[in-house]
Amino acid sequence: MEPGGLIVLVALFALFWLFVIKPQRRRMQAQRDLHTSVTVGDEIVTMGGLIGHVRRVEEDEDVLHVEVAPGTTVRVARRGVAAVLSPEDAPDSGPETAGRS
């Protein structure tokens, strides 16, 4: 193999690593950090689209009890959490028809 061909092969691998592998690792680490940071009282969105407040964490810490309506709690796997909502991300609690004509 010629030295020029080897340089091109190494450069292609470096570009592949830079644009594919590194961003994927960064996303996976961010998701792991999100899952470990969920605590009681956080408002979360599950991957299924449920929005609720974490009320309890089971002893094995892999299952969360999430209140989705007053008096209604569901068990959710910690890895099923898609996002933790901050107060400014939370949906308005007003009537859904407000502002409609």
Per-residue model confidence as pLDDT tens digits over 20-74: 999 999 999 999 998 888 999 999 999 999 999 999 999 888 899 999 999 999 9
The ranges assigned to domains in the chain are 3-85
- Predicted structure pTM score: 0.67
Q: Would you place residue 92 in the very low, low, confident or very high pLDDT band (cuts 50, 70, 90)?
A: low
Distances (CA, A) of 56 to 11, 77, 78: 50, 12, 12
Burial zone of 81 (CB within 10 Å; 0-12 exposed, 13-18 middle, 19+ buried): buried
Phi, psi of 77, rounded to the nearest 5 degrees:
-65, 140
3-85: what CATH class? mainly beta
Q: What is the pLDDT of residue 95?
A: 47
Taking only Cα atoms into account, the Rg of the chain, rounded to an integer number of angstroms, comes to 22
